[in-house]
Amino acid sequence: MQKEEEFEYLVKRMLELMGENPSREGLLKTPKRVFKAYEFMTQGYHQDPKQVLNEALFDSDNSQMVLIRDIEFYSMCEHHLLPIIGRAHVAYIPDGKVVGLSKIPRMVDMYARRLQIQEQLTEQIADVINDVIAPKGVGVVIQARHMCMEMRGVQKTHSNTTTSSLKGLFLKSNTRKEFFDIINAPQAARF
């Protein structure tokens, strides 16, 4: 409880420094709400992605690309504490093991729910899949909007940032091309 009280005090103090009255009706519960929001948005610090992945590894003879595309995520810029809103595309080529499909989006969320930069987020996802699943290759592409660029600074609202991390067979031109062709293909009708 001490952590929550200290956090709420700091939010109240921040409001005062901004020239606000934290005792006015609309702000009375704001420190508590901000604490709960940040507790949720940074829960990735308290999760172990290797443990989650290890609990869902299965033997498989599949040697073809497994791709989960358009994984929506929200993160927070570590420089300004403003939102990053994006989509991740994650693929791997199995080498005797596959992972439960829901675990890949969970990996994205775990790392996204930390203060981040997009470049680091991309590498973290690729590294944990490479380390735990030990596939023949991993490809991760993230496309995101950064509110630190849109709401302040250069104020460019139609700018997207794309980062990639390719490992193993994804470094070969034919696998790289297949991966990028799939993620850039028009989306089929939803089921």
User: How many C-beta neighbours within 10 Å does residue 133 have?
Assistant: 23
Mean pLDDT within 7-15 = 97
How far is Cα 118 from Cα 78, in angstroms, rounded to an integer? 10
Ordered by start, the domain boundaries in the chain are 2-41, 49-184
Per-residue CA distances from 159 to 62, 84, 87 (Å): 38, 12, 14
Environment class of 3 (CB within 10 Å of its CB; exposed 0-12, middle 13-18, buried 19+): exposed
What mean pLDDT do residues 138-143 have? Answer: 98
| Average pLDDT across the chain, whole number | 94
- With respect to CATH, is domain 49-184 assigned 3.30.1130.10? yes
Confidence of residue 189 (pLDDT cuts 50, 70, 90): low
> What is the fold, at CATH topology level, of the domain defined by 2-41?
GTP Cyclohydrolase I; Chain A, domain 1 (1.10.286)
Question: What is the pTM assigned to this prediction?
Answer: 0.91
Which residues are marked as active site?
77-80, 118, 146, 148
Give yes or no for residue 190 having a pLDDT over 80.
no
If pLDDT is split at 50, 70 and 90, which confidence band does 105 have? very high
Please compute the mean of the pLDDT values over residues 55-84 and round it to a whole number: 95
Each residue of 56-82: b (16+ CB within 10 Å) or e? bbeeeeeeebbbbeebebebbbeeeee
What pLDDT sits at residue 155?
A: 82
